């Protein structure tokens, strides 16, 4: 049988006059507040309310010790957050689906891509100072546990060099460089642009081609030339064209067998894997990273039926993450998962309400909510 913990309770006036023992918790029944006492201060310290957050550990003696029996924390359908280190002496049992360890951790598979097209950087909503501050935080937080790929592309070669240099200085493992947007350089201009960055900064650099958003298409023949540079190590290709994918895979086989091809198109990424690409840098993976990791692993292991089954289950999620301009749907989905705040910077605006019900329904179906 679990131990039932009954807290001392009283009105605001009664709590104000009461000096509790060190670590004792009482309840203010007037204001529905939780009070933590330190053994000497009358009234103690308010640490939360019964409908919201409760913080413990305000004093050196602020511990919970059941002595024997069980301690149950039940949020009544909400979220329990432990925003610091948690030490468990003995066994910790978690029932249910664990999605977050803290507010900055989702489930990360294989590599962490910072500020690709799904982040706010390529929507030009972060200034350079913010861009670098977030990158520095990401690198520090990841702490070399997995590679960090930093988005450092720009429509100015000089700015791209500066951002890539800073990414290297901060400790990023790779740079992801979108083609220059708006000014539409030709193929010779793209060779000049990417060669200049690769010459200037000694860091692994991944080309990024997404002409639907940049109005600039990096052709496979140009990629073949750039793949000979020692610092240009791969490409994220977001064009969903089988012939193009085959041409890029041929580069990794015939021109430079260390050159990596990543799909950048969720609906067709599994087909690209079957054609010989090496992985995916994905939008929907922000919501369901395990799915993409499992599909990639299954294809690598020759378990094609398993990969197809997982992929088929998630095809509607891929579609829903693009019902409005990326990253509007995926950021709203992450908000519903309690991963981030419900905010997006202008000129992008919050997801239209007409899509809310369908996205929530699909996320429940996939056990993401």
CATH no. for residue 174? 3.20.20.70
Catalytic annotation, pick one of 208, 318, 331, 336 = 208
Catalytic annotation, pick one of 33, 168, 236, 331 = 236
The verdict on residue 94 lying in a domain is no
The answer to whether residues 176 and 314 belong to one domain is no
Establish whether 140 is a catalytic residue. Answer: no
pLDDT tens column, 300-314: 999 999 999 999 999
The answer to whether residues 173 and 272 belong to one domain is yes
The answer to whether residues 278 and 315 belong to one domain is no
- DSSP assignment of 244-294 equals HHHHHHHIIIII-TT-EEEE--GGGHHHHHHHT--EE--SGGGT-HHHHHH
Spatial separation of the C-alpha atoms in residues 125 and 123, rounded to whole Å: 5
Domain residues for 312? 304-369
- Domain count for the chain, please give it: 3
Residue 290 binned pLDDT confidence (cut-offs 50, 70, 90): very high
Q: Which of 63, 84, 103 is the last residue of a domain?
A: 63
Are 219 and 235 contacting, i.e. CB atoms less than 8 angstroms apart?
no
Mean pLDDT score, 318-323: 97
pLDDT tens column, 171-204: 999 999 999 999 999 999 999 999 999 999 999 9
Establish whether 208 is a catalytic residue. Answer: yes
The answer to whether residues 209 and 141 belong to one domain is yes
Mean pLDDT score, 201-221: 97
pLDDT tens column, 89-139: 444 444 443 333 333 333 334 555 654 444 444 446 788 888 899 999 999
Strand pairing of 25-28 and 33-36? antiparallel
The answer to whether residues 255 and 171 belong to one domain is yes
In 104-240, DSSP assigns E strands to 112-114, 148-151, 174-178, 204-209, 232-237
The answer to whether residues 262 and 121 belong to one domain is yes
Mean pLDDT score, 231-245: 97
The answer to whether residues 133 and 240 belong to one domain is yes
What single-letter DSSP state applies at residue 68?
Answer: S
pLDDT over threshold 70, residue 340? yes
The verdict on residue 173 lying in a domain is yes
The verdict on residue 59 lying in a domain is yes
The answer to whether residues 353 and 207 belong to one domain is no
The verdict on residue 368 lying in a domain is yes
The answer to whether residues 145 and 257 belong to one domain is yes
Which CATH number characterizes residue 11's domain?
2.10.10.30
pLDDT over threshold 80, residue 54? no
Are 352 and 359 contacting, i.e. CB atoms less than 8 angstroms apart?
no
The verdict on residue 240 lying in a domain is yes
The answer to whether residues 153 and 219 belong to one domain is yes
The answer to whether residues 8 and 143 belong to one domain is no
pLDDT at 204: 97
The answer to whether residues 314 and 210 belong to one domain is no
The verdict on residue 264 lying in a domain is yes
The verdict on residue 151 lying in a domain is yes
* Adjacency order of strands within the sheet including 33-36: 8-10, 25-28, 33-36, 45-49
The verdict on residue 235 lying in a domain is yes
């Amino acid at each position: 049988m679990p131990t039932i913990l009954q807290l001392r309770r009283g009105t605001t006036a009664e709590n104000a006059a009461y000096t509790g023992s060190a670590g004792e918790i009482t309840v203010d029944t007037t204001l529905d507040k939780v009070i933590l006492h330190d053994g000497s201060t009358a009234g103690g310290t308010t640490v939360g309310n019964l409908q919201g957050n409760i913080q413990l550990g305000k004093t050196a003696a602020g511990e919970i010790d059941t002595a024997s029996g069980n301690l149950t924390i039940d949020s009544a359908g909400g979220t329990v957050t432990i925003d610091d280190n948690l030490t468990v002496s003995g066994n910790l049992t978690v029932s249910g689906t664990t999605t977050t360890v803290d507010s900055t951790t989702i489930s990360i598979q294989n590599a962490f891509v910072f500020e690709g097209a799904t982040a706010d950087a390529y929507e030009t909503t972060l200034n350079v100072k913010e861009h670098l501050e977030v990158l520095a935080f990401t690198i520090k937080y990841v702490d070399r546990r997995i590679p960090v790929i930093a988005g450092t592309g720009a429509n100015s070669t000089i700015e791209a060099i500066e951002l890539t240099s800073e990414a290297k200085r901060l400790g990023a493992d790779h740079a992801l460089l979108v083609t220059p947007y708006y000014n539409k350089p030709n193929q010779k201009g793209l060779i000049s642009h990417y060669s200049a960055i690769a010459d200037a900064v000694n860091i692994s650099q991944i080309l990024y081609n997404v002409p639907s958003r940049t109005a600039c298409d990096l052709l496979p023949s140009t990629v073949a030339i750039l793949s000979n540079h020692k610092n240009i190590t791969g490409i994220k290709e977001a064009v969903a064209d089988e012939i193009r994918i085959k041409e890029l895979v041929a580069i990794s086989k015939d021109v430079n067998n260390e050159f990596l091809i990543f799909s950048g198109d969720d609906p067709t990424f599994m087909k690209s894997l079957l054609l010989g690409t090496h992985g995916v840098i994905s939008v929907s993976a922000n919501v369901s990273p395990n799915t993409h990791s499992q599909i990639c692993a299954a294809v690598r292991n020759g378990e094609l039926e398993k990969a197809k089954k997982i992929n088929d289950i998630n095809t509607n999620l891929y579609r829903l993450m693009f019902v409005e301009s990326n990253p509007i749907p995926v950021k709203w989905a992450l908000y519903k998962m309690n991963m981030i705040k419900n905010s997006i910077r202008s000129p992008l605006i919050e997801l239209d309400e007409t899509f809310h019900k369908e996205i929530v329904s699909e996320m429940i179906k996939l056990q993401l909510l």
